[in-house]
Structure 1
């Protein structure tokens, strides 16, 4: 767990209820920023080094000259102040004022105002023990996060065994913890996210990390939806399942009949996800699976915590090729940038790369284990004329909200699926199933 610096200005951000706004949502290391926190001129004045000595033997001519000079300076100062007031009255954008300032605090104040209006979506919770949960919750509140996308995680090795039970227990655990944590609530829709933010609380949107959790059953999928799950990653990392292929598969699993992309039953699962009004996440899929899902999906998709493959960075997973990013743009979906292992410069480069290739409406921010990173990254982006208020609001979460709203609007637009996975697709694996009559 990463410790949190004692920056009290962040702590108070979300404690006051906000006026109702239309939802829009938001990830940096202070050491990476080359921003002076105090100007050298101010420092010199404070220490007396910039103040010239007064001489008693100055001539009358010098005194008169100084008087005229001071008078001229006063006139210039008044003119500058009047010009500033006129420009402000004419509506000079806050972003322009911000960019003209070299002070980090001025930009952080701007970020705080921005995130009061548009909650940041991101973050994660650890729930192994109650003490860990409390510590992680405090970090999240300090990091300016407004809504957490929280996936229930089940080990890939539990596939064909007790993955469904473990997921049910995971939902029970996080639901109980949140119910007794002041300042948090589980949300089911984009509208409820907005309401939680207006009430000064952190919203938690539950999801499922990997299709292996479903036990290859659309009936189980429907039951998880009824328990509050609102998004699902079709595979988790290195964890293919009988109906769709992950980018890589762990060797010790020795699975048989692993597909190379998505099967016909997988398309049925995808269709049922869409019918329920759930968001499908595809970051861990193989490239053929990604393209087939993008071509078959009827609603926008999410690629979370990923970066463009052109970035070529070490120890970073979820590398997305350019042609997949272009297809995501056509689908209407969003890619959230994995900024956790990136410097500020690298994160901004990748954000701008995805924006240039896929468009502003298809970029968001992924989770980070460094609580201060969101605010500092946004403060740095605010210096760029490319990122005005409206575009920053889309980046911090507005794009994700738009996708959720479109997915929710598709609920029950197609018939319910009653299909079961073909028996031959799970034969040869250790699935324990009661034989059907």
Structure 2
């Protein structure tokens, strides 16, 4: 039997509503899943942070000739903890990921010259990985290039630097890293830089130094996104004071939901709409699940106490800690916890201020149901169940970050006649 287009549409509508009696055996359609899938079909996920490049460095020393990115589910074999990668081309497709900021991260390093070399190496290996898979990945540096890749069915692949130490306290190096394709830089990682305070280090500068403010200005001039994940609250506020283009948090949560210092406090969320920036909500369990963070603190305290009580007796310490673990099971982190952060950011800053930055391959696992990059549709279905419309889901998935990119590009175009900033971090040290 051939159905007309009208008949097919009527049949589809009937099935969505439960269908006539003869269609009751059809699989039920979850309205939330249908809304999420519809949103991700037209606005695929544009994720703010994925650490595959660092995994390439740690696992294969950036030697990727034998590395298969089509399917990485077997990469746990031989790894110290047996953990396979969270990311590959097949799972990116299943997770409806249309664009990805690949993190060209290198560890915090007081030897900034070494950090500069390492970030260039990470840019190199990421570009080589993208070039090896032209049917699945496409290098992108602008919002228009991202959208074109999405339409063509490729994963738009952008570079994000994690940690300002990678620019070696040199605006000249920053400009050259931008020329190589880096489109955001996280101002710090876990440790302070010589010009900015990190969230997880003792404050030295009270936020940004004068040179740090010039870093923000120069990034704006270049059209490079200022990423405030990992920085202190004072650094966040100083950056918002200076920024002429929207900022991002490439992988952070809401501190009101989980008190980890890596998350964004309401003092900053309230200012974010005036800047136009976004928080790309992270999936890392100890950043999103407060019960898990508190459990970790109690366990660390117990371990420290056992170390004092049983000095020089590691077997007793291990046995006592195992007993504590048995009596105090580790809380689970769930997709609902991640959605709670999204709810809070919407309440304080608005839905225009939200994106997604999973941090896959930079953590042992995501929350239950979101363990790897296949999990995005489940997260968006959870948001749909909480009342988010398809239009709002599209904004969170990719439209907000594309707007932010376009705003940064527009500001850079508006000041294209401005000279590069030539400030040195310590002119006196240069003997001039």
Between Structure 1 and Structure 2, whose CA radius of gyration is higher?
1
1:378 and 2:380 matched: yes
Cα shift at 1:368: 5.2
52, 56, 67: which is aligned to 1:127?
56
**Residue 191 of structure 2 aligns to a residue in which SS?**
coil
How many residues were matched structurally? 330
CA root-mean-square deviation: 3.1
Aligned to 1:140: 92
What is the alpha-carbon distance in structure 1 between the residues aligned to residue 177 and residue 118 of structure 2?
12
Counterpart Cα distance in 2 of 1:417 and 1:265:
14
Is the 1:308–1:350 Cα contact (8 Å) retained in structure 2?
Answer: yes
Are 2:289 and 1:343 aligned? no
Q: Which residue of 2 aligns with 1:64?
A: none
Q: Deviations over 1:22-50 (max 9, x none)?
A: xxxxxxxxxxxxxxxxxxxxxxxxxxxxx
Deviation at 1:221? Answer: 0.8
Match 1:321 to one of 265, 284, 297: 265
- Alpha-carbon distance, 1:106 to partner: 5.8
The reply on whether 1:416 has 2:341 as its aligned counterpart is no
Structure 2: gaps (5+ residues): 1-6, 20-25, 73-86, 286-332, 361-371
Say if 1:127 and 1:133, in contact at 8 Å, map to a contact too: no
Secondary structure of residue in 2 paired with 1:146: strand
**1:169 equivalent in structure 2:** 121
Aligned 8 A contact 1:275 1:416 in 2: no
Please give the TM-score of this superposition, normalised by the length of structure 1: 0.69
- Could you say if the C-alpha distance between residues 307 and 103 of structure 1 is closer, same or farther in structure 2, counting changes exceeding 3 Å? farther
- Map of 2:300 onto structure 1: none
Residues 302-337 of structure 1, C-alpha deviations (whole Å, 9 max, x = no match): 012222212136xx5622211110011221100111
The answer to whether the 8 Å contact 2:195/2:211 transfers is yes
- Residues 104 and 353 (structure 1), Cα distance of their counterparts in 2 relative to 1, 3 Å cut: farther
Q: Distance in 2 between matches of 1:170 and 1:196?
A: 22
Question: Greater shift after overlay, 158-167 or 399-408?
Answer: 158-167
What is the aligned counterpart of 1:330 among 274, 291, 297? 274
Aligned counterpart for 1:247 among listed residues 189, 199, 202? 199
2:408 aligns with 407
Structure possessing the higher relative contact order (Cα contacts under 8 Å, 6 or more residues apart): 1
CA contact (8 A) 2:44 2:398 kept: yes
- Contact preservation (8 Å) 1:243, 1:259: yes
Aligned equivalent of 2:238, options 292, 313, 322: 292
| Unaligned segments of structure 1, at least 5 residues | 1-81, 251-256, 428-434
Counterpart Cα distance in 1 of 2:398 and 2:215: 27
Q: 2:344 aligns with which of 336, 349, 353?
A: 353
2:247 to 291, 301, 308: 301
Distance 2:27 2:380 in 1: 15
